[in-house]
Amino acid sequence: MPAIDLANPTKFLALVSRVLPWLIAATVIFFAIGLYGAANAPDDYQQGATVKIMYLHVPSAWLGMFGWGVMCAAAVGTLVWRHPLADVAGKSAAPIGAAFTFVCLVTGSLWGRPTWGTYWVWDARLTSELVLLLLYFGVLALYWTAEDPGRGARAAAILALVGAVNLPIIKFSVDWWNTLHQGESIFRIGGSTIDPSILTPLIVMAAAFTLLFVTLQLAAMRNEILRRRVRAMRLMQAQQFAEATS
Amino acid sequence: MSLGPHADFIIAAYALALFVVAALTAWVTLDYAAQRRILGDLEERGVTRRSGRESQ
């Protein structure tokens, strides 16, 4: 199937029906391997067993930002080409990205209490991550409350592009400012500072979470396409009723 | 596997993540069932999309 055909909602739905079972299976397998690895990974020499929270916290943080990246790509499709499938992708990514950002903030807080001695501190990394969650709420409000879905989608797309400024701030906040949050320890020049016995389960868990995100995103897009069909059919029904009674 | 003196924090983190993932999964699953049911009802009443009629 040529890639351009995926822009057709009916063909997209057919593709989703085919790939979803495989994605679900792959997600379950990766989570099983990742959780087994996380359970058997050694404790950190300083943080002890609390390092196990990292296997949830770090992938959630990545996917919170990844979700916003998906919304930015979709925003370009909405604003430049006005393609309905781009709008569907943006609207579907927002609640999923918000959920992962929420998991990142709460698990980070639960990790911070035993290691830092506090649940929360207004440092640059934590604050910029909270701003990301608030931006997600703003996008969701625009999608869910706009009377005209098209206008809501365009407003949400603009907010997604403006909010993208926050992504490099989150990423580099630990380099630009003096933060309680630790510096970059995975993707850095000179290689990761994490021992392979802890890093390997983290990579597997990140793959599992990414597969989960893609699975949920495709399922949510399928639902949104069906919701728009329902809306179109109801409008058609109202039009038929009006014609019959006039 | 020993979770040490901070087991409560670790268990709480995993429980929260499990709850959020379960909630997202339930949301997409129930929403899909609801949209399919509404579409089925509309089709039973003879309502079709314009593109659906054209393809018939």
Distance from CA of B21 to the nearest CA of A (A): 8
Number of domains in chain B: 1
Q: What is the pLDDT of residues A13-67, one digit of tens each?
A: 999 999 999 999 999 999 999 999 999 999 888 888 999 999 999 999 999 999 9
* CB-based contact B20 A99, cutoff 8 Å: yes
B31 found inside a domain: yes
For chain B, say whether A222 makes contact (Cβ under 8 Å).
Answer: yes
Cα Dmax for chain A? 79
Contacting A residues, span 71-90, partner chain B, CB-CB under 8 Å: none
Nearest alpha-carbon partner for A54 in A221, A158, A215, A205: A205
Q: Which of A44, A113, A213, A223 to mutate to test binding with chain B, by most B CBs within 10 Å of its CB?
A: A223
Assigned domain for B15 exists: yes
Query: What is the domain partition of chain A in residue ranges?
Result: 3-245
Find the CB nearest B32 among A39, A106, A223.
A223
Of A101-105, A174-178, A200-204, A219-223, the least confident: A174-178
Residue B49 inside a domain? The answer is: no
What average pLDDT score do residues A226-232 get? 91
DSSP SS3 for A164: coil
In this prediction the ipTM stands at 0.90
DSSP secondary structure letter of residue A78? I
Task: Please answer yes or no on whether B13 and A227 come within 8 Å at the CB atom.
Answer: no
For residues B20-36, average pLDDT: 97
Residue B13 has pLDDT above 50, yes or no: yes
Q: Do A56 and B14 touch (CB under 8 A)?
A: yes
Is residue B27 included in any domain, yes or no? yes
pLDDT value for A47: 86
Picking from A113, A227, A232, the nearest residue to B9 by CB comes out as A113
Residue B50 lies in a domain: no
Q: What are A82's two structure tokens?
A: 């006005």
Count of other CB atoms within 10 angstroms of residue A79: 17
Rounded average pLDDT over A148-177: 92
Among candidate residues A124, A103, A130, the one with its CA nearest the CA of residue A183: A124
Chain B within 8 Å of A28 (Cβ-Cβ)? Answer: no
Give per-residue pLDDT as tens, A109-144: 999 999 999 999 999 999 999 999 999 999 999 999
B21 belongs to a structural domain = yes
CA B23 to chain centroid, in Å, comes to 7
pTM of the model: 0.92
B34 inside domain:
yes
Structure tokens belonging to residue A52: 């196990």
B chain contacts of residue A136, beta-carbon cutoff 8 Å:
none
Domain assignment present for B11? yes
Element (H, E) at B31: helix B7-44
pLDDT value of residue A5: 64
Residue B23, domain extent = 7-40
Q: What pLDDT is stored for residue A3 in this prediction?
A: 57
- The more confidently predicted of residues B44 and A108 is A108
Band of the pLDDT at A194, cuts 50, 70, 90? confident
- In which band, very low, low, confident or very high, does the pLDDT at B55 lie, cut at 50, 70 and 90? very low
